[in-house]
Amino acid sequence: MKEQLNGIQASAEKELATAQSIQELENLRVKYLGKKGELTSVLRGMGALSAEERPVIGQLANEVRVFIESRLDKAVKDLAGKERTLKLKQEIIDITMPGKKANFGRRHPLTQVVDEIKEVFLGMGYQIAEGPEVELDYFNFEAMNIPKNHPSRDVQDTFYIDDNVVLRTHTSPVQARVMKSQNPPIRVICPGRVYRSDEVDATHSPVFHQVEGLVVDKGVTMGDLVGTLQVFAKVLFGENTKIRLRPHHFPFTEPSAEVDVSCWGCGGSGCRICKGEGWVEILGAGMVSPKVLRECGIDPNVYSGFAFGLGVERVAMARFNIDDMRLFTENDVRFLKQF
């Protein structure tokens, strides 16, 4: 058995000296010191030795184990050092070389405009409300005082999933959901994507963005609407901007108005941007119809409110002097870099 132990030590010493990797050393550790290793196998045969031989063989076996473990530790440290040195040589960085320029992304011009609009109304105490783009016909039309077969549906004809589910044509359904889910006072804006079956051209798209606003409280008047829109226009288009209201008809507001702002290009004297009129139409607005309030569970004898809605693309086109809406969605980096 002494010969076996000495042979194990000699064999281990030779193999450890020629190992080329950490994994190879781990395999040698298992081979000699593992549960089924060569040294363990020898020690299992000590039961057949005499009482005089066992202490001698046991001491020798421990010496062999200590020898192998020490050589293993040394070999692991040596190989780890070599691997670290090699890695440092391979991964050396020449700090004198010029670096690569990092290209930073920018917010899309539509996102910039939506964020600016949000900031204006958040500063006036509004909250942001959101709702589904795939909407029930009831919330998209009927809750907004647009019953089935009403002529105004032709203007907002949209994509139908089935008879009762549509892609929303405006963000007004969000207003209806808010009024049905919370009691006045209500002060929200509803930004989001909307859909209409329009042909694609320079000023129309079947997919575009809106921001609508709603205020419902006791004693809300048309004067509150005008004051709100004046503040909004001055912040977004400049301190000298003026607004004007022209009578119009929307099924969900009564009275209703189209809202123009004085041209930011010429200040109202007439130019190419405003087509010589001095004014640019940007949104529609009005007092919330009593029928809409009643449909949403709000007593129009106690509460009143106003609502407004604007197309983000149209505002962005005005802000950045862009004459073709399609540029926003063509993903031309040369165009987007300007903003």
Q: What is the DSSP string of 68-118?
A: HHHHHHHHHHHHHHHHHHHHHHHT---TTSPPPPPPPP---HHHHHHHHHH
Residue corresponding to tokens 């000298």: 240
Residue 157 has pLDDT above 70, yes or no: no
| CB of 268 closer than 8 Å to CB of 242 | yes
In percent, the amount of the chain with pLDDT more than 70 equals 92
Selected residue with higher pLDDT from 22 and 151? 22
Give residue 273's identity as a one-letter amino acid code.
I
How do residues 168-189 score in pLDDT, each as one tens digit? Answer: 999 999 999 999 999 999 999 9
Residue 220 has pLDDT above 80, yes or no: yes
Question: What integer pLDDT is reported at residue 256 of this predicted model?
Answer: 93
Domain residue spans of the chain: 2-90, 109-336
The Cα-based distances of 317 to 257, 263, 310 in angstroms read 22, 13, 12
Q: How far apart are CA 27 and CA 80, in angstroms?
A: 16
How do residues 57-88 score in pLDDT, each as one tens digit? Answer: 677 777 877 877 888 888 888 888 877 877 77
Residue corresponding to tokens 């203007």: 155
Q: Fold for 109-336, please state it.
A: BirA Bifunctional Protein; domain 2 (3.30.930)
Nearest Cα neighbor of 195 from 218, 177, 170 is 170
Residue 133 has pLDDT above 90, yes or no: yes
In percent, the amount of the chain with pLDDT more than 90 equals 37
Question: What integer pLDDT is reported at residue 81 of this predicted model?
Answer: 81
What is the mean pLDDT of the segment spanning 308-331? 86
